[in-house]
């Protein structure tokens, strides 16, 4: 997934409203990819509104549970330097 895909998925997860950049090629490609992979579905009859599916909600949950990255400093021998 690209950062744009993640942003579009989160938008669909929190709001059934049409994405603010709907109609742009980048948003269109992300919507197509997410829908093709079963992460979102069209909301009611509105062409530009989408919501997350069970699979999409599960993926958002995984993203939310992912811990923050940790930074480590190492010396030339790959030994961690404690600060």
Look at residue 29 and tell me whether its pLDDT is greater than 90. Answer: yes
What fold characterizes domain 3-65? Arc Repressor Mutant, subunit A (1.10.10)
For the residues 55-66, what does the mean pLDDT come to?
97
Where does the pLDDT of residue 78 fall: very low under 50, low under 70, confident under 90, or very high at 90 and above? Answer: very high
Look at residue 47 and tell me whether its pLDDT is greater than 90. Answer: no
For the residues 39-60, what does the mean pLDDT come to?
92
Q: Which residues pair with 52 in a beta bridge?
A: 40
For the residues 9-30, what does the mean pLDDT come to?
95
* DSSP labels, the chain: --HHHHHHHHHHHH--SPPTTTTSHHHHHHHHHHHHTTSEEE-TT-TT-EEE-HHHHHHHHHHHHSPPP----B-TTSPBPP-
Share above pLDDT 90 across residues of the chain, in percent, rounded to a whole number: 87
For the residues 27-43, what does the mean pLDDT come to?
96
């Amino acid at each position: 997934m690209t950062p744009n895909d993640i942003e579009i998925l989160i938008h669909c997860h929190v709001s059934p409203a049409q994405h603010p950049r709907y109609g742009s090629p980048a948003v269109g490609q992300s919507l197509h990819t997410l829908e093709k992979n079963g992460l979102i579905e069209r909301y009611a009859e509105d062409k530009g509104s989408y919501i997350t599916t069970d699979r999409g909600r599960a993926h958002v949950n995984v993203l939310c549970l992912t811990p923050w990255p940790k930074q480590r400093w190492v010396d030339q021998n790959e030994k961690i330097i404690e600060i």
